[in-house]
Structure 1
């Protein structure tokens, strides 16, 4: 069966930061000869909408669900069916994100991850192959359609309230805090020397700066804080690579799969941490049945915070930007500590930062439900796999507002300074549909990771 394509199109949202990628590919999925786009995203989208109509196939969910392999990936977004097999390797958020949703409805996750509806048409138009047959529901039949509809209505309400607009002043103050702490550390060692007490104190200052930098680079990875995407890309590299020493590409490939399949084993890289750690209910059983034992897993709670994040800082790509982090440290502290001493200082700070960031990021996930793929709706998946930590001025600062992990996972592109405004609405929706909204004191959340 065939039907006419709606020329306006529907679909997910694509990050402004990656606009230039869409311009490199023409409708035949081969690289365009002209390089970067010369037209604005809106002009390009409107031009495509003026193309002649073409007939589209209609598909059932049973047919779509068969295309769920890495070599054969179909997605459904707003009832439109897209073949993303050839696009997956070029996807700005990593190929795993698309693969994880192959054969499924991806409407809510696309809206959650991508902020701009105009940009997405550049990506989706060439991939459109059909749409759901009229008799088919909007989502797979095992999903709670009323909950999905209520969540989508909540998102539309928040959009009309401009909750997704970032306050640039908030992020400027956060960046200023980091730069002031690093400058203060240098002034102290320059004025008082590099004795042990001074070194311990500046290590503390630099650890705080690095931890707060982790929260800011998290923002830069998710948000289009600046309207001009080139500035957003530049700031992302400055914060993530220059201030933190991390690869932007690595972060994208690790972090976005965590968001789209939170606590789904083995799709979420944050919980697939074997062979050093086994977490949840499934992994210990798997390792036990197969008699796999690399370490004493009964003692893993004692060393979890040491290893889970520290090794990630050694993954170096985008050499120029990541290298600038180390060059900056050697220029700043090399005259006082020498080459070897500066290396020790860098990784001492990283070592101290690791438990802070591990506990902040993992206290909201590891104690929650960890399961294999159940193909639940977006709202249920995030709420069941995530919990919050109680709000206070200290908790907000110490966690970088990631104490509102439920809201952050439901709305990753929402600025963190607005999470507290949304939390009562999310909690109300949970109550309506019988889902537990977990909100813990911080010390209990820390303890739950270990016990």
Structure 2
């Protein structure tokens, strides 16, 4: 649709080569390919609900698997794609990744279709309702504990632990709705997402969408995945440290980053960096809807705890809760990605790209709950709209496919995953030091 709701008719259909498609990869000129059809998404990218950056990351590329992964209702999305269609690829044309890995791509598409036939993309409402209930129960118990038990140090510490646990579990649950993996109607998922991240956590759904979908589209790819943008505080992977060392960049003593990580990583990510970023995004974009949801969280929290702790005590309590939540969040999210391959764009097929950037943590009732089932990070990245209670069902099929094509499928214990975070930071830091001193 054009400005003012006026329908834009598709341009005359043409036949294109990959060289022509790849030439349209700038921010002001973006083409992409889905199922061999060529679309001009230059103007649409600005209105894309997932943000313009996630589309730009595939400009001049084949986005078939990414499109399939992110959009559960293909018929609905086709209404928006149709006016953008400008032609198709010539019969003899194949993208670089499809030329190299045609068998992998074909087998993964077959696996995706098989998962749909088995009903693995259908959610069990009671599963998610139970998770919401236990979050609300912890919130209520935390308040009742200090309301009737007093505000001593022990009661306050227990209250903070309950609140932090509720916050992290609400974070995992909002993640489910953000990926449209609960309800069949996208609008219901969006509404539940705003309630969970806004009213229960004081965050912004649009900020999360625009950031997180970039991570899924190009995981561990510099300049495309915001989760590996370390603001030059850390160097990660094997390429970036050498680049920094060769250029004599020494903004931090990177050879000690595995030590100062404990001071600036887990403690500060949510209380400082995410909090400031969320506020900046909502204000700069005048996102009044998300601001209202966010404000409802703080009004609820302040009205509950100011009568018990006063203004300064209430502020101190929420900072401590965010401090605890941030530690939990960082370790869970980083152990699946940070020790894996982190590099510049390689233009790989969907399966290979996701497997090189992700690993799993062993399944257990505790690990499933502790990580919000993100211990199945591989399956989540391959099938982001799949309800998390089905990851363990599709995992053996994914592993068999990886074994067939000799693609590494890594599974670690929870302890190994956490240790590998520090080990990878130390390795990257040493690579930087060696390049800094000798190149």
Query: Fold conserved (TM > 0.5)?
Result: yes
- What is the CA distance between 1:234 and its match in structure 2? 2.0
Does the alignment pair 1:69 with 2:26? Answer: yes
Query: What CA distance in whole angstroms lies between the structure 2 residues aligned with 1:422 and 1:218?
Result: 19
Aligned counterpart, 1:327: 299
Query: What CA distance in whole angstroms lies between the structure 2 residues aligned with 1:391 and 1:232?
Result: 27
Query: What CA distance in whole angstroms lies between the structure 1 residues aligned with 2:11 and 2:46?
Result: 27
Q: How does 1:226-375 map to 2 (within 5 A)?
A: 226-297=183-254, 298-299=256-257, 300-303=260-263, 304-310=265-271, 311-314=273-276, 315-316=278-279, 317=282, 318-375=290-347
Does the alignment pair 1:223 with 2:180? Answer: yes
Deviation digits for residues 297-342 of structure 1 (CA, Å, limit 9, x no counterpart):
3133333222333320232222211111111111111110111111
Query: What CA distance in whole angstroms lies between the structure 2 residues aligned with 1:302 and 1:365?
Result: 17
Aligned counterpart, 1:434: 406
- What is the CA distance between 1:201 and its match in structure 2? 0.7
Aligned counterpart, 2:387: 415
Q: How many residues align?
A: 408
Q: How does 1:4-43 map to 2 (within 5 A)?
A: 25=1, 29-32=2-5
Aligned counterpart, 2:82: 125
| Root-mean-square deviation over aligned CA pairs | 1.8
- What is the CA distance between 1:275 and its match in structure 2? 2.1
Aligned counterpart, 2:49: 92
Query: What CA distance in whole angstroms lies between the structure 1 residues aligned with 2:214 and 2:124?
Result: 27
Query: What CA distance in whole angstroms lies between the structure 2 residues aligned with 1:56 and 1:143?
Result: 28
Aligned counterpart, 1:194: 151
| Normalised TM-score (structure 1) | 0.87
Query: What CA distance in whole angstroms lies between the structure 1 residues aligned with 2:343 and 2:185?
Result: 40
Does the alignment pair 1:388 with 2:376? Answer: no
| Normalised TM-score (structure 2) | 0.89
8 Å CA contact retained: 2:12, 2:86: no
Q: Taking structure 1 as reference, are residues 336 and 402 closer, same or farther at Cα in structure 2, changes over 3 Å only?
A: same
Deviation digits for residues 280-310 of structure 1 (CA, Å, limit 9, x no counterpart):
1222223323333333331333332223333
Query: What CA distance in whole angstroms lies between the structure 1 residues aligned with 2:87 and 2:186?
Result: 31
Does the alignment pair 1:136 with 2:98? Answer: no
8 Å CA contact retained: 2:98, 2:105: no
Aligned counterpart, 1:6: none
- What is the CA distance between 1:229 and its match in structure 2? 4.0
- What is the CA distance between 1:55 and its match in structure 2? 5.3
2:66 pairs with 109, 114, 121, which one?
109
Query: What CA distance in whole angstroms lies between the structure 2 residues aligned with 1:212 and 1:392?
Result: 17
8 Å CA contact retained: 1:388, 1:404: yes
Query: What CA distance in whole angstroms lies between the structure 2 residues aligned with 1:172 and 1:67?
Result: 45
8 Å CA contact retained: 1:139, 1:145: no
Aligned counterpart, 2:436: none
Runs (5+) with no aligned partner, structure 2 = 283-289, 424-439
- What is the CA distance between 1:224 and its match in structure 2? 4.6
Q: How does 1:396-407 map to 2 (within 5 A)?
A: 396-407=368-379
